[in-house]
Structures are given as structure tokens and as C-alpha cells.
Amino acid sequence: MKQVHIFCENTRSGHSYPMGTSLFEISKDLDIKTKNTVCGAIVNHQVKELSFCVVKSKKIEFIDVSHPDGIRMYIRSLIFVLYAAVKEVFPHVELRIQKGISNGYYCELNGLERVITDADIFEIRQEINRLIAQDIPFIKKGMLTEEVVDLLIKQGLEDKAHLFEQQGHLFTSLYFLGDLGNYFYGHLLPSTGYISNFGLVPYFEGLLLQIPTPADFNQLYKLEKLDKLFGIYQEHKDWAEILNVSTISHLNNFTLNKRGGDIIKISEALHEKRIAEIANLIHERNGDIKVVLIAGPSASGKTTFSKRLGVQLAVNGMHPYQISLDNYFVDREKTPLDEHGNYDFEALEAIDVEFFNQQLIELFEGREIQLPKFDFNRGKRYMNGDRLKLNKGDILIIEGIHGMNPNLLPHIDKKNTFKIFISALTQISFDEHTHISTADNRLIRRIIRDSKYRSYPASETIKRWPSVRRGEDKNIFPYQENADIMFNSATLYELAVLKKYADPLLKMVLENQREYIESTRLLKFLSYFKPIDDEEIPPTSLLREFLGGSSFIY
């Protein structure tokens, strides 16, 4: 029998196997040891399931659930099992995975028509445990798309069925767990027995599916009741449902019916209305509020939001002045170091908090100050002659990642501040069971912006992204509930617009680059959207910060 050569990254060694040998067989033969059970592999920088059979020479790296793609496989498989369990316990109830929150997944049981009880949750959890104990394989089958669509509609998964229908493929892959078919836009674990830890708890009016931490799979993420974040999610979910654009297939219908412009106009109007409402709230407290603090994660649109808020404050007769926290960095030699000995520019200690507070106090007392400027090349702060004095009706807008951190303004009375947290909380889902990650939305925004304004290739942005996310988890998200108001910068239509800009950038990532794994995943994700032209997006839109064509000066 013909032999194929493979190089295993885990053992750093080459081997030959008969053509058609599965990754599972290779992992057993090589006795691959990982922190947790091997659940898949990276083959020539593409994610593959253990059932994948090798027919050509390949470079293989076996992964477990501590790998980003391994945990994705785990989550998809767990959601499939949850779906099967709900189907068994409540045959006439529709499970909907609404959003990612508190490092878990918020679920609703549509059609239950009563409050979910602890007994309900216990029964579902028991059924999940029964399915796990049976170690049932997830079977992938290629089928005629029309057969897949019919099967999904019979199971009540109409949004998923319509999305498959819109793709126009003759054949489609579907996964089966027993007689139940489903699809989660990515790879699954070999079987239910690979699921080792999960949680299912009441959360607001639904359930929270909890997942383990990749660092320690015996531990679940800590449960947090994020009232403000949940509230903003629900508000935008209501908007999406009113407009009937809660899933990709709904959005595609607008595009296919040449109504993409309608969604753009409505989305932008909702943004403008919300920003005006926030400005009105600030104006109502004009006697007290002297500083508006704006914070949020990378690529959330903070800068454009700040400028649009300034316009609305001006409409209310106020005079906004924008100050950047970046100009209050300590000199380079005083910058704290991270655990790797590198400068930690995202730590609060990288900001001269005392000097910043001193200047604010002087401004509030009616004194004139010299505004600092930071020279990033020299790593030094200096005064360039710009001066500022606040008069009646003047208000400061300060944008920076530490805006929600209570230690930023230890000497300023809380009644003098108004805090706004901004993030791109994606409003639509793939379908009934698959939400769209807000981090993916922001990553795509950043890839486009980095290419346009910094000449970074997509591979460089993808490479830096894990570090960006770690910084957000440490310095931004823990303080988001301190906000007075949250603003969602995502729009219903944006991924259909971003697709045109992101696709060519992602296709430039080469197969021999590690970032090819992520670029391939994002390309597949965007492939489900029918493109919307951006010509109707106004020059004041938050999206213009990433696409270009903004009327604001940055």
C-alpha cells in the first residue's frame, strides 16, 4: 500500500503511514501526550477532526481543549448535546443560544411559556450527563442540500435551513448525534464522551451554559451577573427582532431583495438616537458633570463615538473638549514591566495618575493648565504650549482604556464624572444555536483599519490579537459594569459590508504562516454573508473609522 509522509510537531519527528490512515490512529500510534485529551489537529495550518484521513504528505500538530481551536470544538459539541437534551426533555420547546456573556452562553427556551425552574435545569443537566456517559459519536455526513434543508425544517431549525439554502451549494455537510442533525460552522469532538466539564445555571430569564477554563479544565469560569451588559444586549436584541434581522439569513434576505440601504439607514438612525439620548442625560446633570470618561476594547469605535457625542453635547449648548489619556503616560523608564519583562503600556501604572488628577482639579477650580503631549518615539512627556481653561458650559471628554477603572480618578468626586463603556456587541446570530462572537467582529474591524492606516498585513493583526485580548481581559472588561451607560457600536449590517474589505486581506495570509488557521476560519465565517455596498453609509458613521471616508478628523 502506498505510504504518505507526515511530520508531527508534537514529537518533532517524521513518520510514514499507509494512505488513508486517520489522525486518531496516528495520535494513538505516536502516543501523543497533551495537557488534556487530544481532541483534534492542525494539519498544514488548517483545523481537522481526528476522523480526518491523511492521503498526502502533511505537517500535523495534535491539539487539546487548551488550544483556541480545541476549545471551540468543545463548545460546539457541548451546545449540540445541550440541544439534544432539551429536545428530549421538552420536545416542543425551541432552544436559542442568544449570546456569549460571563464567559458562557446565554440560552432561552422559547415556547416553555413559564418560568424555568431548578427542576427543569436539573432534568436537562441529567440528560446531558446521560448522553456524555453513552459516548455517542458525532457523525459527519455529506448530503444533498435540499435533503439537509428538509431535515432541519422538520426539526424546527428554520433559520439554519434558510442559511444553507442561501449558500447555493449542491451538497452540504451535516453532523448527527443519533437521529438529530445539526451544524455549527466548524469542527466537533469525536464523541460526547470527550465532554468532561460544564455548568448549567439559571441566568436572568433563561439559562447560562458554563464552560471550563482552558488553563484548568477542572474549573468553570466564575459566574458574574452582568446587569448592564445584559441590558444593552437585550435592547439591541429587541431592535433586531422588531426589524426581523436577528440572524444572517434574515440579513441576507434584505440584501437579496435590494434593501440593504434600508438596514443601513435604520441602524445609523438608531445609533444617532442613542447618542443623542446619552448627551441629553449628561446635559440634565450639567451642574455636576465635568468629565465624560469613555472606555472600551480595541476596535470598538471609541474615537468616533467620542466625536459624535461631542456634536450632540454641542447641540445641547455645551462646549466639549477632548483629552487623550495617552498624553499622560509616564516616561518610558518609569513604565512598569509585564511578566515577560516587556513594557506594559496597558497597565494603569503606565499612566501618571497623580499628575492627571492634579490637572483636572486645577481645571475644575477655574485655573488654566498647560496640556501635556507624549512623544512615543523618545518615550518622554513634554509641554508643547497648548493651554486649556474651562468656562461655564465646558465639559471634558476623556477617551482611554482605563476610563471605567475607579483608581484612575481617586481625587475626583464621582458626581463630577459620567462613564460610558462602548463595545461592538454583535446583534445578529448565525442561526438558532450559533451566536457571533463580538471579538470576531472587532478583529475584522481591526484587520481592515490596520491595513488601511498602518499598512499592517492581516497576518500581523491576527498575530497580535491574543495579546490584545489578554490586555482587555485584565484592564478593561473587569470594570465594564462601573459604567453609567453602555453603548453598542455594532450595527445590524456591518459584517455584510466589512466582508468586501476583509476577504482580500485574509486571502493574502499564506498557508505556511500560523495565522492561516485564523484567516481561514474568518473567511469561512464571512462567506455566509451576502455583501452590502457601503455607499449609503454616512460619513459620520462609526464604521467610517475603519473603512475610511469619515468627515471627522482623527
Q: Which residues of 42-61 are buried (b: 16+ CB within 10 A; e: fewer)?
A: bbebebbbbbbebeeebebb
Strand partners, 360: none
Q: Provide the angle, in degrees to the nearest 10, between the axes of the packed helices 158-167 and 248-256.
A: 50
pLDDT beyond 90 at 320: yes
Number of H helices, E strands in the chain: 15, 23
Which domain-ending residue is among 195, 220, 245? 220
Q: In the prediction, which pLDDT does 376 show?
A: 86
What is residue 230's predicted lDDT score, i.e. its pLDDT?
86
In a domain, 515, yes or no: yes
**Each residue's pLDDT tens digit, 40-87:** 999 999 999 999 999 999 999 999 999 999 999 999 999 999 999 999
What does the mean pLDDT of the chain come to?
94
pLDDT tens string 189-229: 999 999 999 999 999 999 999 999 988 999 999 998 888 88
Residues 214 and 112 in one domain: yes
Specify burial of residue 532 (Cβ count, 10 A radius: 0-12, 13-18, 19+). Answer: buried
Confidence of residue 378 (pLDDT cuts 50, 70, 90): very high
159 lies in which domain range? 69-220
* Spatial separation of the C-alpha atoms in residues 466 and 449, rounded to whole Å: 17
Looking at residue 392, its pLDDT comes to 87
CATH code of residue 153: 3.30.980.10
Check residue 238 and give its pLDDT.
73
Is 452 domain-assigned?
A: yes
**How high is the pLDDT of residue 99?**
87
The helix or strand, by DSSP H or E, that contains position 381, with its residue range, turns out to be strand 380-388
C-alpha cell at position 106: 446565554
Give the mean model confidence (pLDDT) for residues 385-404: 92
* 113: in domain: yes
Mean pLDDT of 234-256: 85
Pairs from 435-441 (Cβ < 8 Å, separation ≥ 24): 435/97, 435/98, 435/99, 435/100, 435/105, 436/495, 437/100, 438/100, 438/490, 439/469, 440/522, 440/525, 441/490, 441/494, 441/495
Beta bridge partners of 291: 396, 417
CA dihedral sign, ordered 548, 549, 550, 554: positive
Greater pLDDT, 451 or 244: 451
DSSP letter at 224? -
> Which is more confidently placed, 234 or 472?
472
Considering the domain architecture, whether residues 308 and 376 belong to the same structural domain is answered as yes
Q: Name the 3-class secondary structure at 434.
A: coil
Domains contained in the chain, number: 3
Decide if pLDDT at 235 tops 80.
no
237 and 189, same structural domain?
no
Say whether both 131 and 25 belong to one domain: no
Q: Which residues have CB under 8 Å from 446's CB, separation 6+?
A: 298, 299, 461, 465, 546
CA-based nearest residue to 490, from 279, 292, 268: 268
Average pLDDT on 425-445 reads 93
Reference 426, options 39, 101, 19, 124; nearest CA is 101
The continuous run of DSSP H or E covering 372 comes out as strand 369-375
- Rg, Å, the chain Cα set: 25
Would you say 331 and 379 are in contact if contact means Cβ atoms under 8 Å apart? Answer: yes
pLDDT of 253 over the 80 cut = yes
Is 553 domain-assigned?
Answer: no
pLDDT reported for residue 342: 84
Here the cell at position 401 is 482604556
Candidates 172, 169, 135; CA nearest to 152 is 172
Q: Is 304 in the same domain as 215?
A: no
- Give a yes or no: residue 265 inside a domain: yes
Amino acid at 149: V
Same domain assignment for residues 175 and 243: no
211 with 258, same domain: the answer is no
Among 40, 64, 88, give the residue marking a domain's end: 64
Has residue 147 got a pLDDT over 80?
A: yes
pLDDT tens by residue, 491-514: 999 999 999 999 999 999 999 999
Judgement on whether residues 502 and 485 belong to the same structural domain of the protein: yes
DSSP states along 259-311? -HHHHHHHHHHHHHHHHHHHHHHHHHTTTT--EEEEE--TTS-HHHHHHHHHH
Q: Which of 124-138, 170-184, 230-244 has the lowest mean pLDDT?
A: 230-244
Residue type, position 310, single letter: G
199 and 148 share one domain: yes
46 inside domain: yes
> Do the Cβ atoms of 294 and 408 come closer than 8 Å?
no
- Structure confidence at residue 432 (pLDDT): 94
Half-sphere exposure at residue 366, Cβ-oriented, CA atoms within 13 angstroms = 1
CA-based max dimension of the chain: 87
Band (385; pLDDT cuts 50, 70, 90): confident
Asked if residue 552 is part of any domain, the answer here is no
Shared domain for 142 and 276, answered yes or no, is no
Q: In CATH, what number is assigned to the domain containing residue 42?
A: 3.10.20.30
> Angle formed by the axes of helices 158-167 and 145-154, to 10°?
170
pLDDT at 553 over 90: no
Amino acid at 71: I
User: Helix, strand or coil for residue 318?
Assistant: coil
Q: Are residues 420 and 327 in the same domain?
A: yes
Q: Quick one: 497 and 375 in the same domain?
A: yes
**DSSP symbol at 101:** E
Q: 283 pLDDT band (50/70/90 cuts)?
A: very high
pLDDT reported for residue 237? 74
Place of cell 455583501: 531
CATH of the domain at 473: 3.40.50.300
Write down the pLDDT at residue 343: 87
Q: Under a CB-based contact definition with an 8 Å cutoff, are residues 156 and 232 in contact?
A: no
- Asked, for residue 554, whether it belongs to a domain, the answer is no
- Answer with the one of 34, 64, 94 that is the final residue of a domain: 64
